[in-house]
Amino acid sequence: MEVKTSLSVVVPVYNEAERLPKTLRRLHEYLADSPFSYEIVVVLDGPTDGTREVLAAIAGKITNLRVIDHGVNRGKGAAVKDGMFQASGRVRLFTDADNSTDIAHLGQMLPLFDQGYDVVIASRNSKDAAGARQTVPQPLHRWLLGRIGNLIARLLVLPGIWDTHCGFKAFRAEAAERIFSHSEIDGWGFDIEVLVLARALNYKIGIIPAHWINDDRSNMRLRSYMRALMDIVRLRARLRRFPTN
């Protein structure tokens, strides 16, 4: 694929009629003043709440916006994967539609690519990166589920990374295309999968501290957590057979 832009920002979107306009306006505000070329790639993953209509109403005000519409809900992992493949940037970032991690974190990420990193992620855990913090804490049940899931991930497939699910991860184009060509998880477990694949493929992973603002209007349910845990178990078995060359 011919690279036409310096940066692609992929935004996977399910039912985000309330939050998406604010997020897109913030992306536009930040990127419009940047010295590099960019595109914003919104992937509609079968929303049912009027997100399409809201997006259509503001699309003309957002510079360099592209929209991919799945038509039906295929899962966050599928949405990010599709966006990564259709993106054209030399660096490809995906960020959640709730804007819990502000796009200004990009300023900390880009220098790490200049230092030789292939994948750079934001972490809400200070054990990954000093200075990481959460302004609005998660509800106790979500915090516990997240900690349990991360513990299982660290024990089975991903030692050393304490926050796998912060929705702000960037990849060099070549790394993105290679990693996502091997990804199989369409649901929430894909965050762990792409990091496991990055390590298996010997890509260098950098971590920056996130200033994360929780939004309780999450689309993730208990059933999704359970599926993500099962994905980790299957991923461990798959990793034993995974070719690294």
Domain ranges of the chain: 5-239
Segment 41-81, tens digit of pLDDT: 999 999 999 999 999 999 999 999 999 999 999 999 999 99
Q: How far is CA 31 from CA 16, 21, 107, 152, in A?
A: 21, 15, 11, 37
Q: In whole angstroms, give the CA distance from residue 103 to residue 137.
A: 20
Q: Which two tokens stand for residue 98?
A: 């709730």
Buried b vs exposed e over 32-58: b needs ≥16 C-beta within 10 Å?
eeeeebbbbbbbbbbbeeebbebbeee
Q: How far apart are CA 24 and CA 33, in angstroms?
A: 14
What confidence tens digit (pLDDT) does each residue in 86-131 have?
999 999 999 999 999 999 999 999 999 999 999 999 999 999 999 9
How much is the pLDDT for 243? 63
Residues 52, 44: contact at Cβ < 8 Å? yes
5-239 CATH fold: Spore Coat Polysaccharide Biosynthesis Protein SpsA; Chain A (3.90.550)
